[in-house]
Amino acid sequence: MVSPTPVTFGLPTQPASYSWEATDEEVAARYGIPIGDIVRFDLNTSPSPPDLAARVLAAGIFDAPLAEYPPSDYRRLVETAASVYGVATDELVVGAGADEILDLVGKAFLPAGGRAVIPVPTYAMYRVVTEQRGATAVLVPRLGADRDYALDLAATRTAAADAEVVWLCSPNNPTGLPEPDGEIETLLDVVAVDAMVAGRAPAIVVLDEAYAEFVGASLLALRHRHPNLVIVRTASKAYALAGLRVGFGIAQPETIARIVPYRPPGSVSTVSLTVVTEALADPTGMRANVARVDAERERLADALREAGWSVGPTVTNFLLVELASVERAAEVATELLRRGLVPRTFGPGHPLAHALRLTIRDRAGNDRLIAAAREIDGTGGSAP
């Protein structure tokens, strides 16, 4: 089954690469829709940036003159982020989005020929980073939908015993829920014990908390006991600043010091540094965004369920909709695209090829999705 939207598939001779959905322009051209009518449900972003972004840009006062490179230590951003996350400045590294942090972790800790554990389904970049390092991605299936796609702790532990990196994501993208309480802590403990018994260093455990603000909880405190834990945060999701490309890695100072040599001197622009520093210092916009998602999440999920779709539980700004088959998922995706609504599809062979992921947008955008679901369901039903 071919995805209804153009995606890129690497040839066997090419390194693994990330696949995007069609751009606004491509969707508009293909379906004859005005570009302004397109709503993106595929990227887990937010409908609008915080108000302060426009104010900072209009004021035109940035951390450095725009003719110069950004301050190479990103000092004001580092200090502000450290205080927001409650960590020391030497416990944090800044990257061009969480994605660059994942890449830096790969460079620092994943040798060619090494192994990285990926509980799947999860965020696609872990596999991309792993394979681009010339390492092997050890895919460990998560428990099923009936177990909320939680980690298979025993299998993950076994796989971690001879791996350099374990990629965790909580709340998990695309399945929407955090790991059950205590599970990640237990995994860190057993990984440490197993490594000690084997006389080797424990795998670096990356915990991607890109969606943490939507739950209001974080496992940052676990870094005190686990020098092999790297937590990843971002300005892209709850802070609604994905276009600025700012993310953070947080770990014990010695661990950060092993990542920093791989950081390019200026991958984060001066404009991004300035705006994100202000957004972190004044989280009003972030809180309003989280409140918007809180207000819309159940309304959207319930309306889609009433339309006959099987919507999983979520604490994030996106929903996972499981359809009756891979074919039905492709049909529904096409029907959405024809209406200018862009879902996230999962490629052939993906464990969620029969599902679509849909970002929770603003009320008007969500209403269009609900109306579309009601119409589409009339075209043949979809719930498993």
Kindly identify the residues of this chain, within the stretch 33-92, that bind ligand PLP according to CB under 6 A.
Answer: 44
Shortest distance (Å) from residue 208 CB to ligand PLP: 5
Among 118, 192, 210, 373, binds ligand PLP (CB under 6 A): 210
**What is the per-residue DSSP string for 304-325?**
HHHTT-EE---SSSEEEEE-S-
Nearer Cβ to ligand PLP, position 80 or 236?
236
With 0-12 / 13-18 / 19 or more C-beta atoms within 10 angstroms meaning exposed / middle / buried, residue 151 is buried
Shortest distance (Å) from residue 380 CB to ligand PLP: 30
Kindly identify the residues of this chain, within the stretch 153-172, that bind ligand PLP according to CB under 6 A.
Answer: 169
Interaction between residue 208 and ligand PLP (CB under 6 A) = yes
Nearer Cβ to ligand PLP, position 103 or 331?
103
Q: CA-to-CA distance for 84 and 277, rounded, in angstroms?
A: 10
Nearer Cβ to ligand PLP, position 105 or 336?
105
Interaction between residue 215 and ligand PLP (CB under 6 A) = no
Helices (H), the chain: 24-31, 51-59, 75-85, 97-109, 125-132, 153-160, 183-198, 212-215, 253-259, 270-281, 284-306, 326-338, 363-377
Nearer Cβ to ligand PLP, position 211 or 377?
211
Q: Are 247 and 233 in contact (CB under 8 A)?
A: yes
CB atoms within 10 A of CB 58: 8
Binding-site string for ligand PLP from residue 321 to residue 360, where x marks contact by CB under 6 A and - marks none: ----------------------------------------
Kindly identify the residues of this chain, within the stretch 82-121, that bind ligand PLP according to CB under 6 A.
Answer: 97-99
Please state the φ and ψ torsions of residue 137, each to the nearest 5 degrees. -85, 115
Nearer Cβ to ligand PLP, position 70 or 97?
97
Applying CB under 6 A, the span of 10-18, 175-183, 234-242, 372-380 interacting with ligand PLP comes to: 234-242
Q: CA-to-CA distance for 181 and 184, rounded, in angstroms?
A: 8
Nearer Cβ to ligand PLP, position 241 or 304?
241
Interaction between residue 260 and ligand PLP (CB under 6 A) = no
- How many residues bind ligand PLP, per CB under 6 A? 13
CA distances from 219 to 185, 188, 215, 375 (A): 9, 12, 12, 42
Instruction: Record the tokens describing residue 170, joined without a space.
Output: 């909580």
Nearer Cβ to ligand PLP, position 175 or 274?
175
Q: CA-to-CA distance for 357 and 376, rounded, in angstroms?
A: 16
Instruction: Record the tokens describing residue 55, joined without a space.
Output: 């104010």
Interior CA angle at 375 toward 384 and 300, to 5°? 70
Interaction between residue 236 and ligand PLP (CB under 6 A) = yes
Nearer Cβ to ligand PLP, position 50 or 328?
50
Q: CA-to-CA distance for 349 and 53, rounded, in angstroms?
A: 40
Instruction: Record the tokens describing residue 80, joined without a space.
Output: 């502000």
Nearest-CB residue for ligand PLP: 97
Interaction between residue 247 and ligand PLP (CB under 6 A) = yes
Shortest distance (Å) from residue 236 CB to ligand PLP: 3
Nearer Cβ to ligand PLP, position 234 or 382?
234
Rounded to a whole number of angstroms, the distance between the first and last alpha carbons of the chain is 18
Shortest distance (Å) from residue 138 CB to ligand PLP: 19
Among 62, 85, 123, 149, binds ligand PLP (CB under 6 A): 123
Q: Are 29 and 356 in contact (CB under 8 A)?
A: no
- Residue ranges that bind ligand PLP, judged by CB under 6 A: 44, 97-99, 123, 169, 173, 208, 210, 234, 236, 242, 247
